[in-house]
Chains A and B, each alone.
Chain A
């Protein structure tokens, strides 16, 4: 692991800000449809309901999850220009989804009138030399993210907040299946998603 001086903070903040504007503005459907992100009603671009106001304990957990999402966003942002197809196409899709996760988490935190974490100015990322190596590194980060959400879910108090967090986790699980598939591995390694795939 080496310190990657990515200088991504402004890029991330700009991307998140844009994403939040998109998600909160009337143009969301048009913007997402234009980006080819139609979900046929089964996977949504937004959650169907805002969870109840999180408690301070929940806010700490959500901020920790948000920090992990920022790290994944930085990793995808750094990797995409160097990835070969079809991994690159998938990674571009997943980056947009992680931005949506971060925007949603930040929204929940702000709903509790708390301060959402900001992205760091740099992240310690591994620097694989091959496209496969980069996809493996992304897979590891996705699995760590899933493990983090699984640890968080029993700790969160409002049931709706637990369910919405699981909604994000399930999307990360899809990322894992696709990344494993692109890497030539069995896409689903076990019957339960535990973050160790």
Chain B
């Protein structure tokens, strides 16, 4: 899960990094105005570009998570352990994931990139789940509680993927699409949590949704 840190903590971290940069530049003989210009330029470069990630790569990452969700919903909605209410909800949410995958795949095609294949089998899906820090597994028989828990955790991963993409996408309209999708993932999280705990208050636990990384 995303580690929470206070605003003052992150502010201190930035200041320390900035001070180190300033000292290095001054030691190298650069003037204050050059330092300011470089600092401004650095702030203007999106973090993803600084890491060399294009919009297509960011969308492909988000699509990978959506494809994993699609696979998981497809698998778990067929479980014999689910109540009729759970079957109905998972079928509805599965349909939403179909649309999310289609929307992101269409954007990838528009950007001239190939659409990656989703997980091909249970083993590949479980490996992907583990890579995202989701503790549950799709293979084997699972109780309804375990199935829903896995999907809640996966929804958190999807929220986190959207959150990261919104911060880094260079095309603002793609950022807006990711925000629309993030809102949907948050709604799905809430509905799954209500199914699990039957508690309205717990199903919308905090004012800020960031998901997990």
Measuring CB to CB, which residues of chain A are less than 8 angstroms from any residue of chain B? 36-50, 52, 86, 89-90, 93-94, 96-98, 100-101, 104, 107, 146, 149-150, 153-155, 158-160, 162-178, 181-182, 187-188, 190-194
Contacts and interface: CB of A to CB of B under 8 A. Distances in A.
Given A153-B166, A159-B168, A166 B179 contact: yes
A90 B206 contact: no
B36 to A, nearest CB: 14
Q: How large is the interface on B (under 10, 10 to 19, 20 to 34, 35 or more residues)?
A: 35 or more
Interface stretch (B73-81, B95-103, B122-130, B139-147): B95-103
Given A42-B212, A188-B92, A48 B179 contact: no
23 contacts: A38-B205, A41-B1, A42-B211, A44-B2, A47-B7, A49-B10, A90-B204, A97-B206, A153-B176, A154-B172, A154-B175, A158-B43, A159-B46, A162-B172, A166-B183, A168-B207, A174-B186, A178-B204, A188-B93, A191-B100, A192-B99, A192-B180, A193-B187
A46 B182 contact: no
B205 A153 contact: no
Contact of B7 (A49, A160, A172): A49
A166 B210 CA distance: 9
Interface residues of B: mostly helix, strand, loop or mixed? Answer: helix
B183 to A, nearest CB: 3
B176 A154 contact: yes
A192 B103 contact: yes
A101 B212 CA distance: 20
Interface string B33-52: 00000000001001110000
B180 A193 contact: yes
A186 B94 CA distance: 15
Interface string B158-200: 0100111011110011011111111111111111001000001
